[in-house]
């Protein structure tokens, strides 16, 4: 059967389904469709499937100009009907893997998607699971569920884990040119799933098991979380010592080997860096092992909003202004530059904390017209009058901001990203406070 399937893949005589059409699933669907593979997108959210079928994109990295022709040519369609999974040869799963309220992995979306696949599983199916998760999910949870059908992996169907590494907003590295790890639950699965991805992506890197692929993804994001945690703690220590942490980082980075730049900031956000390391530490807890680096970094990073608020309070204090009653404009609330995603954004925590302390907070973010914080709807100020605030707090360093204009008009600035300096503003009036 394997040879037959590899031949079909080689001839592009296959159709695939993508389960979950979000930040990960939609760009991937577009990439396969562009490569001439017929894609059926399946999502439980009918608003998303309707938009796709009209050729309208809701993911920033996918333009409607790219999407619409694929819909017109019939290369991509979207549906909320899971029976579509039975009509295709390959299935790629990219559903959310968040944390529960108690900060444990929430695999409910994965389990639901796996049940949909199970109901539609047939001989010859190629299944790839992409959602970030702890090592063992693919072979301990998904595989047994699928084999309840009586079909056997490696003989009747193929199953691999292939982590998604997409970096929203990154123009240089996209789904297409970021190397794709593939780890099958057995060797034939690695081979078949690798061949499938090779149709649309430039480089596929096979590894020996699904667990290696799962752990590699968690290492990548844990590495980032820990290094950002170190940069954040360095900022706190430098502040105590009266040293400019930004200059320290640039100075250290003149060493041409053995050092890599990471910057401090208001905390970490997004669907990945704050969450993925906790999937790893949770799994280790089931073996009575404490992942100490992860716990320390998570602790430092998640306390950054509180630290930033205390520094804003200190800055206002210098001007004999109490935080309570002060008018504050927060610039940028997305979790990182030039994107519209506010999931886990630490800037929302900063706004919440400032308001709890009695400050009057407004925000301006050209990418995020409105947001809900602690059940309260906030709308972005349309045309900010920087003069009207006691302090302007730079949360996210969007490139759309006119840093020179803001500097000229704002009476006082707290910059969590060193963005003014990075955008060429010279602080002649000594009115910028940085982390
Ligand atoms: N966003 C990123 O930058 C990024 C990067 C790398 C990896 N990941 C990982 O990829 C996975 C998906 O993340 P995302 O950002 O695309 O999430 P998302 O919330 O943007 O999209 C997930 C989609 O899945 C749909 N969905 C949920 N349950 C479903 C089900 N049972 N059947 C069909 N559709 C279902 C949702 O309606 C949604 O449209 C997560 O595990 C995430 O950790 C995300």
Q: What is the pLDDT of residue 132?
A: 97
Strands 15-19 and 38-42: parallel
Res. 247 pLDDT band, cuts 50 70 90: very high
420 assigned to some structural domain: yes
Say if residues 70 and 34 touch (Cβ distance below 8 Å): yes
- Residue at which a domain ends, from 208, 238, 257: 208
Is 149 within a domain?
A: yes
Q: Which pair of structure tokens corresponds to residue 209? A: 């098991």
Q: Within this chain, do residues 237 and 193 fall inside the same structural domain, yes or no?
A: no
Same domain, 23 and 148: yes
Is 239 found in the same domain as 171? no
Nearest CA to ligand 1 atom 31: 113
Same-domain status, 142 and 49? yes
Question: Could you tell me if 170 and 234 lie in one domain?
Answer: no
Distance 402 CA to ligand 1 centre (A): 33
pLDDT at 293 over 90: yes
Look at residue 60 in the predicted model and tell me its pLDDT.
86
pLDDT score of 61 more than 90: no
Is the model's pLDDT at 131 over the cut of 90?
Answer: yes
Q: What is the pLDDT of residue 260?
A: 97
Q: What is the pLDDT of residue 244?
A: 97
The pLDDT of residue 24 is above 90: yes
Q: Are residues 201 and 262 in the same domain?
A: no
What does the alpha-carbon distance between residue 344 and residue 161 come to, in Å, rounded to a whole number?
A: 25
C-alpha 429 to ligand 1 mean position (Å): 46
- For residue 313, what are its two tokens? 């309070």
Instruction: Please check whether residues 192 and 253 belong to one and the same domain.
Output: no
- Residue whose pair of structure tokens reads 């020179």 in the numeric block: 404
Question: Which of 174, 208, 242 marks a domain boundary?
Answer: 208
- Asked whether 178 and 166 are in contact (CB, 8 A), the reply is yes
pLDDT number for residue 101:
86
What share of the chain has pLDDT > 70, as a percent? 100
Same domain, 240 and 338: yes
Query: So what's the pLDDT on residue 271?
Result: 86
Q: Tell me how far the alpha carbon of residue 184 lies from the centroid of ligand 1, in angstroms.
A: 21
Residue with CA nearest ligand 1 atom 13: 96
Q: Residue with the nearest Cα to atom 30 of ligand 1?
A: 113
Q: What number of other Cβ atoms are within 10 A of residue 340's Cβ? A: 16
For residue 2, pLDDT over 90 is answered with: yes
133 Cα nearest atom in ligand 1: 41
Q: Are residues 141 and 284 in the same domain?
A: no
Is the domain of 396 the same as that of 279? yes
**What pLDDT digit, counting tens, does each position of 169-225 carry?**
888 999 999 999 999 999 999 999 999 999 999 999 999 999 999 999 999 999 999
Task: Answer whether residue 215 is part of any domain.
Answer: no
For the chain, give the mean pLDDT: 97
Domain assignment present for residue 6? The answer is yes
User: What are 157's strand-pairing partners?
Assistant: 153
Closest CA to 186 of 208, 214, 213: 208
Pick from 153, 184, 208: which residue ends a domain? 208
Alpha carbon distance 164, 93 (integer Å): 10
Choose, from 272, 278, 351, 392, the residue flagged as catalytic. Answer: 272
Residue nearest to atom 35 of ligand 1 (CA): 20
Q: How many domains does the chain have?
A: 2
Give the percent of the chain with pLDDT over 90: 96
> Among the atoms of ligand 1, which is closest to the Cα of residue 45?
37
User: For position 135, which CATH number holds?
Assistant: 3.40.50.720
- Please indicate, yes or no, whether residues 34 and 172 belong to a single structural domain of this protein: yes
3-state secondary structure the chain: CHHHHHHHHHCCCCEEEEECCCCCHHHHHHHHHHCCCEEEEECCCHHHHHHHHCCCCCCCCCCHHHHHHHHHCCCEEEECCHHHHHHCCEEEECCCCCECCCCCECCHHHHHHHHHHHHHCCCCCEEEECCCCCCCHHHHHHHHHHHCCCCCECCCEEEEECCCCCCCCCCCCCCCCCCEEEEECCHHHHHHHHHHHHCCCCCEEEECCHHHHHHHHHHHHHHHHHHHHHHHHHHHHHHHHCCCHHHHHHHHCCCCCCCCCCCCCCCCCCCCCCCHHHHHHHHHHCCCCCCHHHHHHHHHHHHHHHHHHHHHHHHHHHCCCCCCCCEEEEECCCCCCCCCCCCCCHHHHHHHHHHHCCCEEEEECCCCCEEEECCEEEECCCCCCHHHCCEEEECCCCCCCCHHHHHHHCCCEEECCCHHHHCCCCCCCCCEEEC
Question: Ligand 1 mean position to 98 CA, how many Å?
Answer: 9
Average pLDDT over residues 231-256: 98
Mean pLDDT over residues 400-427, rounded?
A: 98
Mutate which of 17, 21, 22 for ligand 1 pocket (most atoms within 8 A of beta carbon): 22
Measured from the Cα of 26, ligand 1's closest atom is 16
166 CA: nearest ligand 1 atom: 5
- Residues 220-245 have a mean pLDDT of 98
pLDDT in tens, 305-345: 999 999 999 999 999 999 999 999 999 999 999 999 999 99
The pTM assigned to this predicted structure is: 0.93
Ligand 1-lining residues (CB < 6 angstroms) = 19-25, 42-45, 48, 94-97, 109, 112-113, 130-132, 164-166, 168, 271-272
Tens digits of per-residue pLDDT, 98-120? 999 898 999 999 999 999 999 99
Neighbours of 313 (CB within 10 A): 18
Per-residue pLDDT of 68-93, as tens digits, reads 999 999 999 999 999 999 999 999 99
Q: Is the pLDDT of residue 168 over 90?
A: no
Is position 238 annotated as part of the catalytic site? no
In a domain, 29, yes or no: yes
- pLDDT at position 401 over 90: yes
Q: Which of 17, 23, 268 to mutate to test the pocket of ligand 1 (most atoms within 8 A of CB)?
A: 23
Residue numbers of the domain that contains 173:
2-208
Instruction: Please give the distance, rounded to the nearest whole angstrom, from the Cα atom of residue 46 to the centre of ligand 1.
Output: 15
Q: Are 113 and 185 members of one domain?
A: yes
- Domain membership flag for residue 216: no
In angstroms, what is the span from residue 411 Cα to ligand 1's centroid?
42
In a domain, 214, yes or no: no
Nearest CA to ligand 1 atom 18: 22
The pLDDT of residue 376 is above 90: yes
- State the Cα torsion 412-415-418-423 to the nearest 10°: -60
Q: Relative to the CA of 341, which ligand 1 atom is closest?
A: 1
Residue 348 lies in a domain: yes
Give the nearest ligand 1 atom to 59 CA. Answer: 20
């Amino acid at each position: 059967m394997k040879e037959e399937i590899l031949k079909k893949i080689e001839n592009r005589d296959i159709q695939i389904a993508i389960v979950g059409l979000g930040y990960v699933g939609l760009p991937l669907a577009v990439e396969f469709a562009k490569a001439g593979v017929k894609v059926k997108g399946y999502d439980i959210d009918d608003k998303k499937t309707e938009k796709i079928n009209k050729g309208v994109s809701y993911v920033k990295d996918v333009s409607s100009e790219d999407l619409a022709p694929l819909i017109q040519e019939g290369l991509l369609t979207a549906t909320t009907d899971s029976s579509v999974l039975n009509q295709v040869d390959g299935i790629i799963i990219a559903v959310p893997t968040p944390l529960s309220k108690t900060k444990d992995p929430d695999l409910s979306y994965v389990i639901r998607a796996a049940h949909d696949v199970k109901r539609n599983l047939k001989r010859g199916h190629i299944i790839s699971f992409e959602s970030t998760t702890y090592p063992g999910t693919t072979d301990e949870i998904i595989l047994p569920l699928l084999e309840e059908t009586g079909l056997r992996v490696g003989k009747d169907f193929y199953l691999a884990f292939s982590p998604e590494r997409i970096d929203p907003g990154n123009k240089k590295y996209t789904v297409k040119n970021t190397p794709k790890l593939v780890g099958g639950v057995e060797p034939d699965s690695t081979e078949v799933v690798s061949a499938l991805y090779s149709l649309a992506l430039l480089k596929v890197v096979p590894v020996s098991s699904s667990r290696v692929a799962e752990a590699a993804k968690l290492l990548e994001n844990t590495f980032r979380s820990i290094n950002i945690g170190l940069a954040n703690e360095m900022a706190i220590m430098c502040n105590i010592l009266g040293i400019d942490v930004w200059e320290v980082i640039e100075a250290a980075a003149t060493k041409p080997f053995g050092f890599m730049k990471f910057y401090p900031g208001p905390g970490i956000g997004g669907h990945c860096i704050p969450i993925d390391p906790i999937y790893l530490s949770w799994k280790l807890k089931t073996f009575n092992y404490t992942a100490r680096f992860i716990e320390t970094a998570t602790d430092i990073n998640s306390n950054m909003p509180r630290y930033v608020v205390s520094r804003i309070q200190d800055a206002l204090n210098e001007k004999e202004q109490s935080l309570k009653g002060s008018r504050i404009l927060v610039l940028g609330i997305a979790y990182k530059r030039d994107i519209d995603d506010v999931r886990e954004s630490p800037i929302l925590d900063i706004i919440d904390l400032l308001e709890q302390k009695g400050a009057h907070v407004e925000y301006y973010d050209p990418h995020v017209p409105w947001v809900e914080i602690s059940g309260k709807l906030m709308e972005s100020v349309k045309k900010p009058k920087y003069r009207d605030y006691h302090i302007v707090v730079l949360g996210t360093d969007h490139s759309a901001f006119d840093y020179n204009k803001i500097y000229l008009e704002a009476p006082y600035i707290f910059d969590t990203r060193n963005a003014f300096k990075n955008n060429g503003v010279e602080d002649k009036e000594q009115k910028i406070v940085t982390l």
